Amino acid sequence: MPKGKTHKGIRKRMRRTRKGKVVRTTANRGHLMSGKSGNRKRRLRRRQTVTTAQVKTYLRLIDG
C-alpha cells in the first residue's frame, strides 16, 4: 500500500512526542484573553494530549 501524504494543517497544529503520544495546543487561546482569569490563562498555556481514540488517525495524518 502506498504511503499517504502528510496533512499540512494537522502537522502545524500537532506534534508527536518521543514516546509516541500526540500533543496539541489548547483551544480558547486565540483572542479575547482579557476577559479570562489569570489562572485560566495559565492552564491554557499547557499542551494537551490527544485522546487515545484519535491517536491512530492523527499519527496517520502527521506521518503521511
| CA distance linking residue 59 with residue 32, whole number of Å | 32
The closest alpha carbon to 26, from 51, 43, 8, 9, belongs to: 43
pLDDT for 1 beyond 70? no
Over residues 10-42, the pLDDT tens digits come to 999 999 999 989 999 999 999 999 999 999 999
Judge contact between 53 and 38, C-beta under 8 A: no
Going from N- to C-terminal start, the domains of the chain cover 8-63
Q: How sure is the predictor about 64, in pLDDT bands with cuts at 50, 70 and 90? A: confident
Q: Give the pLDDT mean for 43-48.
A: 96
Query: Class assignment of domain 8-63?
Result: few secondary structures
| CA distance linking residue 2 with residue 36, whole number of Å | 47
The closest alpha carbon to 27, from 43, 16, 12, belongs to: 43
**pLDDT at residue 37 in the model:** 97
| C-beta neighbour count of 7 within 10 angstroms | 16
